[in-house]
Amino acid sequence: MSKNFEVEMLLDIKTPMRDGVNLSSDIYLPKSDGPFPVILMRTPYSNNGDDIVKTSISYANRGYACVIQDVRGRWDSDGEYYPFHQEAKDGYDTQEWISKQRWCDGNIGMIGGSYLGAVQWLSAPLKSNHLKAIVPRVMCTDYYNGLVHPGGTFQLNVMMTWGMRTSGRTAQTIDYHNWTKAFHSLPLADLGGSTGRSMAFWQDWHEHQNDDEYWDEVNTERRFSDIEVPALIMGGWYDLYATDAFDNFNGMRQQGGSELARQSQLIMGPWPHRLSQSTKTGDIDFGSPSKIDLDGIERRWLNRWMLGEDNGVDDEAPLRLFIMGTNEWRDEQEWPLARTDWQTWNLHSEGRANTARGDGTISLIESGEELPDTFTYDPEFPVQTIGGNNCCSPDIVPWGPYDQRPVENRGDVLCFTTEPMDSDFEVTGPVKLKLYASTDAVDTDWTAKLVDVSPDGYAKNLCDSIIRARYRKGFEKSDLLKPGRVYDYDLYVGVTANVFKAGHRIRLEISSSNFPRFDRNLNTGATPGYDSEVKVATQKVFHSSKYPSHIVLPVIQRT
């Protein structure tokens, strides 16, 4: 579709929901005889923002009608705002309302990232007959594990900064807060006491520590079989939702409710939450190939499924991955890759793996009779977050790859490192850690981070994760520890596609905090968020024939 229509604007059009609440929609129409296929964007960030308006005009120029709607309780829309839980019905009702308008030809597609991706995933299972395709960028479908409580912790930085920014009817400034003080404030559930702002959903997020019916209500990951339209998923290796992008891809490819839904695709680049805005993410410039025209790719997808355009989308590989290290794109068919060599790399030391200068190593040699590594975790002095899969305020907590040596100099960070690679060594897929550990507390956290170490010592983070010990058996209910007992933990360290170049080394960091990305475990066993007492914990990580801690790397042979 290459036409260049002039555009007519219809602003603040009231769109009725089933409960009588009116939402505000701005509509951009081609100046031509309709009806038209319709692009729908639903946002809490104002339907009058420069970028979203430019996107709408661009689609209207090409012959699409475009509807931008403020979600319930935000900007010009009536009602009370509450994240996620109202979006399924409101999205469906909006789709049905659009289908009845004279300018709609009955075909609707949805686009947008982050919360604009959430509203797509949430409404799709309701199966409006008029929804034909979605293009959700950078969003999870499991809000418990993907956003609010990853690994059973509380994703502090994101939930506090983003939550406060969206807590009012319009955008709320967060620039003047003392974030160091706010992040450290206890009890954590008392947000008003630390920031002067009260948010009902903040209290609910803390009330629902377990993965219960509150979270199930908005869990689309359990409802992929109800989605009958194809999804073009877009994500980044350094995005908050990197792992979720593949969960969504596999969910749609394997469980989608129609043959069309099972033709969903995924593009994964070396980007943070703001996809393909620059060749540089964090410290690293990934080169000119890394910046691609995602908008053009999106339009091809919509033209295929909404207009029936025979543009070859059906014949393309379902998975397009950017391989870091060699900085190249590669088409693949499935995730994990069928040709993956799952290699078990075992942890070793003589009990002194503390810091990058310690004696911790990783190798293919099986664990023997080795001393455990010990460190002290003090919640008053947590390990600092330096980059990584963060969102959504990089000026407060940076995102992307950064040099991890500052945290690797800490005695409460265990570092296990390989010998230099003899040749290029590719790790592409999900990375998993089996950890055997003990603590003298009744609850604590364990963190893991995969790092690419250059010959000059620069330590580039690739992916990381965390597990709250009380949720080691699952997130439906907590189970406190017996101090001193050795437990095994499964940590899904994350996803990556990285070539460790010849001479580089692979490093695994293990600790008990990554702050302020995640909240601090106070080690007391009290209900998280409602406790102010702090206990220092003594941690032990085991690697022996009885307790063989190891990391499983998805190795891809390079030809």
User: Which residues have a catalytic role annotated?
Assistant: 114, 239, 273
DSSP state, 313?
Answer: G
DSSP secondary structure of 436-486: EEEESSSS-EEEEEEEEE-TT--EEEEEEEEEEGGGTT-SSS--PPPTT--
* Nearest residue to 263 via CA among 311, 212, 318, 220: 318
> How far apart are alpha carbons 86 and 227 in whole angstroms?
18
Cβ–Cβ < 8 Å for 163, 202: yes
* Nearest residue to 250 via CA among 262, 241, 240, 237: 262
319-323 and 22-30 strand pairing: unpaired
Question: Alpha carbon 509 to chain centroid distance?
Answer: 21
β-strand partners of 54: none
Helix axes 115-123, 87-99, angle to 10 degrees: 80
Number of other CB atoms surrounding residue 365 within 10 Å: 10
Cβ–Cβ < 8 Å for 468, 151: yes
> How far apart are alpha carbons 227 and 412 in whole angstroms?
46
274: tokens are: 């703001």
> How far apart are alpha carbons 27 and 40 in whole angstroms?
9
* Nearest residue to 373 via CA among 198, 539, 139: 539
Contacts of 246 (CB under 8 A, 6+ apart): 235, 266, 268, 335, 430, 495
Cβ-in-10-Å burial (0-12, 13-18, 19+) of 357 comes to: exposed
372: tokens are: 């455990």
DSSP state, 106?
Answer: E
What is the 3-class SS of 125-159, one letter each residue?
HHCCCCEEEEEEECCCCCCHHHHHCHHHCCCHHHH
Contacts of 180 (CB under 8 A, 6+ apart): none
Distances (CA, A) of 405 to 286, 461, 502, 551: 21, 10, 21, 21
Radius of gyration of the chain (CA): 24
